[in-house]
A and B are shown apart, each in its own frame.
Chain A
Amino acid sequence: MKVIQHLIRTPESAIGLGILVLLALVALLAPVLSPGDPLRIAARPLLAPFTDPSFPLGTDRLGRDVLAGIIHGARTSLAVGIAAAFAAIAFGFCIGLTAGFAGGLVDEALMRVVDAFQIVPSFLLALAFVSVIGASAPVVVIAISLGAWADPARLTRAQVLSIRERDYVASARVIGMHPVEIALKEILPNALPPVLALSAIIVAAAILTEAALSFLGLGDPNVVTWGSMIAEGRNILRSSPSLSIFPGIALIVTVVGVYLFSEGLTKTLAGRRAEE
């Protein structure tokens, strides 16, 4: 509760939180707000925006409702973004915890693997992965998290390395706690918050990567995504720019919202630590 109070106190995080809550609501209520398949051909093609009240944002090349696409696209973007970030953080955290706590050879080996993943540009990795395996929602999630887990792994390891030298860990060792117990009960809860602050940035990056993959035609073609909407609009950018602009705005608003929220979260966590 205290965290949320802190969050609302800073204006940027309040705006960020507002945007995210609104998006989450739109995503959750998509079937109510715009029932039916958003990809169905609903009206005359290339209806200009703001001309027909039943299609406020107009229709695309085939006559599909742009507003329905944006509403349902929020679902895809948020779902893929959050799932990929969750997978990346969970995996990265486990690796970092193991490496930091075990030390020695295990640490060396794991960190070289992390190095390998950090060297390869994450988007290239996702691109290669999806084009080899084929595009579908779970594959896209795995592809994005493949390029995103290395940062949380490194951060976790650094946290663990500093925490495990603290006095309370030493005393836990002295009273004969099992190493696994120490890792889970003493180190994990204290190493987690900074990594969580990283999560928002990973979500934002994941949403952008998903959009870029769909833009290149490597998203799941059976669901509507903002990236694929921009890609389709690009062909007629000169005559109907709105088809690319609306999903583009949606993408920008989402990513800005996530960043603002993460900014606020980081400050709040830092403030809390200062209070302690």
Chain B
Amino acid sequence: MTIAHLSRRTLLQAGSALLASTALPVLARAQNTPSGGRLIVAADSEPKNLNPAIVASNGVFFIASKVVEPLAEASFDGKDGLSPRLATSWEGSADGKSVTFKLREGVKWHDGKPFTSADVAFSALSIWKPLQNLGRVVFANLEAVDTPDAATAIFKFSKPTPLQLIRNALPVVSSVVPKHVYEGTDIAGNPANVKLVGTGPFKLTEYKPGEYYRLTKNADYWNKGEPKLDEVIFRVLPDRAGAGAALEAEEIQLAAFSAVPLTDLARISKVPGIKVISKGYEALTYQLVVEINHRRKELADLKVRQAIAHAIDRKFVVDTIFLGYASASTGPVPKNAPEFYDAGVPTYAFDVAKANALLDEAGYKKGANGTRFSLKLRPAPYFNETKQFGDYLRQALAAVGIDAQLVNADSAAHQKAVYTDHDFDLAVGPPVFRGDPAISTTILVQSGIPAGVPFSNQGGYASKELDDIIARAAVTVDTAARTDLYKQFQKLVATDLPLINVAEWGFITVARDSVLNVSNNPRWAVSNWADTALKS
């Protein structure tokens, strides 16, 4: 184009193009206001089945809890440690055989249909009880759910079921899914297990495998004024080292579940604009446990188990392996569960001389090479910390003359070896305490569990006394009496050592300072994030 051809129109076109190019970033920035904006979060797994009513696990909840809601969520200051969601109140009968839920009115599913008690009844009887990993335990004796009106659901049990248990389990087991989507279909294979339909503050609008999940604001959410955010993007970043760098580069604004490795926290906490938060995981306490195969003659001897407990330096584990982001355990119930926790149990101080003496007493003298006997040790591969503790335990046992041979395997092979084939002597596992010992803790020591059930007693341990307490607590309706039984349970486990509890830990959230209302409930990472906001 020559100068002669330059017309007014071309100049105007060029000018407006120039204007538009500068205006675009301004528009993008304008979205980052407290009411609105897009929160980008690191996700490290893509569950095949995203339906929290079927798979009640943290990996699923992390994404799905924003879309599908439970009857109640955990809370720091609410009554019974709960804050109402789809249920507004709950009440148990004196005989423990029924629980009445009043449901929230005016709630709509994401497809526009109204939410009613029929959805709760359907979810409970067709999904939670028969299909859900944890609901199978909690709702084992659920017989029927009566729905006298659209806002009332009455759960009927064949045997007394403590309200305390139901209450503690509500946030985890009670995700409600729509009856009209699931009824009459193959529930496990329903496409809605991936394209979720819920009542939550966000709708799942897009999923690109290997890239991201896009959740957009539900404008019809029952709690007016929420959610604050317009969008939540879960970016799949499987490499843990990548999350910290992405936060610094502001590619993501939040990384939960210790996606930033513990070893990187000291450095990243000094980066301006980034905060490190250890709150918000109180109801999801992980426990570092040494699982013991009692079929091994040596390990069936209580003295040997006591010696192993004395050989472990819990301070080293907490300070060096967890870098202080954990605390030492005393027994099978963590300190984060004050309702049940009992500090008055036998403890095992780090004492190598005592451990050696106990092993000598048990009749396992050191051989010529300084070794008493050999064991096969399988550390669970799920966390860096479980693997490192495996390395440490091998050294700690070597110090008392026990030669532990490490066997590493991937998750599937590890679970098969430990929980199905019993091909281990010691294993390091990270079971989760979920608010009530009856949900996923008593199963770790109870006898008679068939082979193949993961995270259960597969070490062949059997104690009639302990089984009795567990059975009695399961049908004790009175809260005080039930709590007392679980205190006895803790004492017995700490005395007889069917397994050795070493430490307990929660996760760490790292977020940009611009993210507001982070970690404001004990299950924050797996709650609905309706009040989470972004400051510009």
Contacts and interface: CB of A to CB of B under 8 A. Distances in A.
Interface of A: 37, 39-41, 45, 61-63, 131, 134-135, 217-218, 221-222, 234-239
B341 interface: no
Interface residues of B, number: 27
Contact of B261 (A41, A218, A221, A235): A235
Given A37-B398, A239-B263, A239-B264, A217 B408 contact: yes
Given A222-B405, A239-B266, A217 B395 contact: no
A61 B389 CA distance: 11
Nearest to B267: A239
Contacts of B261: 235-236
Nearest to A44: B320
A40 B398 contact: yes
B122 interface: no
Given A135-B407, A135-B408, A221-B408, 20 more contacts: A39-B394, A45-B320, A61-B321, A62-B391, A134-B407, A134-B413, A217-B408, A221-B390, A221-B391, A221-B406, A222-B394, A222-B405, A234-B241, A235-B261, A235-B263, A236-B263, A236-B264, A238-B244, A238-B264, A239-B266
Contacts of A41: 392, 395
Given A39-B391, A61-B388, A131 B405 contact: no
A3 to B, nearest CB: 42
| Interface of A (DSSP majority class) | loop
B260 to A, nearest CB: 11
Contacts of B144: none
Interface centre among B321, B384, B391, B406, by most chain A C-beta atoms within 10 angstroms, is: B391
13 contacts: A39-B391, A40-B398, A217-B381, A217-B387, A221-B406, A234-B241, A235-B240, A235-B241, A235-B384, A236-B261, A236-B263, A238-B267, A239-B266
B410 interface: yes
A221 B405 CA distance: 8
Contacts of B405: 222
Contacts of B392: 41, 62
Interface string B90-101: 000000000000
Contacts of B398: 37, 40
Nearest to A45: B320
Q: Which label, helix, strand, loop or mixed, suits the secondary structure of the B interface?
A: helix
Nearest to A217: B408
B484 to A, nearest CB: 41
Interface of B: 240-241, 244, 261, 263-264, 266-267, 320-321, 381, 384, 387-388, 390-392, 394-395, 398, 405-410, 413
Given A217-B381, A238-B267, A134 B320 contact: no
Contacts of B240: 235
Which of B240, B263, B392, B394 counts the most chain A CB atoms within 10 A? B263
Nearest to B319: A45
A63 B266 contact: no
A235 B390 CA distance: 17
A217 B392 CA distance: 16
A221 B407 contact: yes
Contacts of B263: 61, 235-236, 239
Contact of B409 (A37, A39, A45, A134): A134
A62 B321 contact: yes
A237 B390 CA distance: 22
B49 to A, nearest CB: 25
A34 to B, nearest CB: 16
- Which 3 pairs of residues, A with B, have the shortest CB-CB distance? A221-B406, A236-B263, A221-B408
A40 B407 contact: no
Contacts of B267: 238-239
Which of A39, A40, A61, A218 gathers the greatest number of chain B CB atoms within 10 Å? A61
Contacts of A234: 241
A131 B413 CA distance: 9
Nearest to A236: B263
Contacts of B409: 134
Contacts of B407: 134-135, 221
